[in-house]
Structure 1
């Protein structure tokens, strides 16, 4: 398994040496089921309501189930100790859709009508940009588990936007270096024409070219497009050594036109389309293809994913087949609940002022790795520093995580991905 990890404020590693650094492993990630008890008495009773605008439909719908499962599981753990903490949490689930079906146009007003303090979502950066102003204008926190566009780092959000996923500056660096390290001199890309796709393509290009490579074709397409023959033809005509697919689930339509035209081990995926294809493709179609995904390795998160599936089974739901951004969604809920507890308030502005603190961004907190332990610190008069399932998180002044990991994965003969052994 290869994972690249660095602090956003630390030295930027360049060239192909950036790939293959050991994973940042947190002792607190072993399990989330042993919540313990709090010794301090509960503070004033708090009833916090949050909403979700995650993809139940649209071109990222495959990410909806793990993200919503992460939210539901975290909520269950918060409410399991509500008698001790005085905080109860209610979630109103909603669909973000995509920029084609525009589900968010009706869902965001519905969520705001439920008097939510925060909205978790969207998964797509392009979709989040469609309603961030609406949430900020209403004085509501937007907290995405999966937005990676660099646009949010400098966005005017009144301090109400946070994310547990790192900027694509990091993923682009890792992917570009990985492609170069694999011996490819030329690269073609098919790119989704939105803030996520074009931003990630930019950083992949910069990294690949810094390593001595050349991007020879990078046609784009728009959300809602259903045919991609022109983009595929343009990339293949450039005869690149490798092709990076910077897409969402449109990849399922693109792949049949590419497979057999380029060796599978010269195809590269990203977080927007890295999924288990299984029997949807002929056996061995993707053998040797690689991809990147922000977050700790799924292998590292084994205890969490097992606990998550056990929770779903107890609720009468099917186990997940994808786990992308489940941990980031889980952590978003825990952080919001801790910030509400620390503020002694369910007001969005009060919670936002405490989110940096409970993530460790103030630098003076006591480390803790589950809600109950962190709540105990807060109720005892201390400052909690939550290290999450997805990583240390530690927000900076603009709500970006200052530390992050990028996992590298490889497809096997079953067209499913596993951690890349290097």
Structure 2
């Protein structure tokens, strides 16, 4: 089932779909995202909130340097390969088009919040005069570098940040993302847990803006659907022993347990099941929905479910095959499409502006996504570049979906898929 639901235009703390206890929702069309995020600085105006910029016709001769701070190490390292493959494929498609734009990528590691890897990487990238930085994957990591990036007049574009805190962050209109706010994922996850017949829920949660934000939105949706959260136990990035959290949550005897974590799930999950909790009553999220066929005993999490933003790559034609051509080792494709589209949107904004300065690119990002400008729908760089060279407005729809940015740089259309684990501990979309 794929249901579209309109969200409240307010950005208060209200639930995403006010007054609707909808179950099995896999797609949401927003007119705005609720948020408890910090307000923008008084001197700031929402990104590209006015009319679209004029597109000047003519050929381009642009070299655009793009950096990445994606996880090659740390708790989200499993997301690094698909995200970097998405970036590399977009770079290849743009350069192969040979339409007056050359992309020069510079790949760097983001690490996680237990290190200063991201800060070191960003410092290096800024010294190389990149116009935009793709990343980080972790909301917590992005919080450590967002001021450094945007303060330098460089676009930060995350394919995977989902914390609601970024919606109204004081980012000088330079922060953008193709991933939807966790207010949406929590809505879907909480309702799915309730739809599965669970009356009580426990949560084991990473204590950062991503974990607590997603846990809160999941709790709100689950309790709005009639359930009750009976336990929530937090841990910090870098922790390696989760016995206390497991004991605290299982002591409340919940019907189901949601793991709002990164790769800590590799340790928590076997310990939970080993303690006697049923493996098919666990729920995963985008930070840990991964192929566990080589990590867990067969059948350990068979029947468990999880949520993941984005379209199912199995529906995207040859996109998966082309990603594998870039990286033959890929087994997980999470956020690959969002990474591909991040590069495409940055490139199209630069092409539309005929300028590679980050502050100029940011002024065109919303309109090339279709948020302003009433442009012609395009789905690839060649078609878009030819239209822009003719002076026409474009509306890019990518592999991650329509995108269509709002005035805060958030996508206004998003898909949240529900997945289920099979006996071999691999997952497939069921909704």
TM-score scaled by length of structure 1: 0.91
- Within a 5 Å distance, the mapping from 1:220-235 to structure 2 comes to 220-235=234-249
Return the offset for 1:7. 5.2
Worse-superposed segment, 179-188 or 290-299? 290-299
* Counterpart contact for 1:4–1:174, Cα < 8 Å: no
Give the one of 110, 124, 127 matched to 1:96.
110
Worse-superposed segment, 323-332 or 291-300? 291-300
Aligned residue for 1:88, secondary structure, equals strand
Return the offset for 1:43. 1.9
- Within a 5 Å distance, the mapping from 1:134-283 to structure 2 comes to 134-260=148-274, 261-283=276-298
Give the one of 401, 406, 409 matched to 2:411.
401
Q: Distance in 1 between matches of 2:273 and 2:169?
A: 39
- Considering fraction of residues, name the structure with more helix: 1
Aligned match of 2:337 = 327
> Structure 1 residues 411, 93: closer, same or farther in 2, change over 3 A?
same
Q: Does 1:50 align with 2:66?
A: yes
Aligned match of 1:376 = 386
Q: Distance in 1 between matches of 2:24 and 2:18?
A: 9
Worse-superposed segment, 41-50 or 410-419? 41-50
> Structure 1 residues 217, 295: closer, same or farther in 2, change over 3 A?
same
Aligned residue for 1:278, secondary structure, equals coil
Q: Does 1:17 align with 2:22?
A: yes
Aligned match of 2:13 = none
* Counterpart contact for 2:156–2:174, Cα < 8 Å: yes
- Within a 5 Å distance, the mapping from 1:322-401 to structure 2 comes to 322-401=332-411
Q: Distance in 2 between matches of 1:298 and 1:361?
A: 25
Q: Distance in 2 between matches of 1:227 and 1:270?
A: 20
Aligned residue for 1:258, secondary structure, equals helix
> Structure 1 residues 263, 3: closer, same or farther in 2, change over 3 A?
farther
Q: Does 1:129 align with 2:143?
A: yes
Aligned residue for 1:279, secondary structure, equals coil
Q: Distance in 1 between matches of 2:187 and 2:147?
A: 30
Aligned match of 1:37 = none
Return the offset for 1:19. 1.5
Q: Distance in 1 between matches of 2:194 and 2:349?
A: 42
Aligned match of 2:308 = 293
Q: Distance in 1 between matches of 2:310 and 2:179?
A: 7
- In the TM superposition, what whole-angstrom CA distance separates every residue of 1:30-65 from its partner, at most 9, and x where no partner exists? xxxxxxxxxx99624111001000000000000000
Aligned residue for 1:296, secondary structure, equals coil
Q: Distance in 1 between matches of 2:286 and 2:387?
A: 35
Matched residues, number: 398
Gapped runs of 5+ residues in structure 1? 25-39
- In the TM superposition, what whole-angstrom CA distance separates every residue of 1:357-415 from its partner, at most 9, and x where no partner exists? 10000041000000110111101110011001100000011100000000000000000
Tell me the C-alpha RMSD between the 2 structures: 1.8
Q: Distance in 2 between matches of 1:279 and 1:350?
A: 46
* Counterpart contact for 1:119–1:140, Cα < 8 Å: yes
Aligned residue for 1:405, secondary structure, equals strand
> Structure 1 residues 408, 13: closer, same or farther in 2, change over 3 A?
farther
Return the offset for 1:336. 0.6
Aligned match of 1:86 = 100
* Counterpart contact for 1:8–1:402, Cα < 8 Å: no
Aligned match of 2:320 = 305
Q: Distance in 2 between matches of 1:326 and 1:266?
A: 28
Return the offset for 1:13. 6.5
Return the offset for 1:259. 1.1
Aligned match of 2:53 = none
Return the offset for 1:298. 3.0
* Counterpart contact for 1:6–1:403, Cα < 8 Å: no
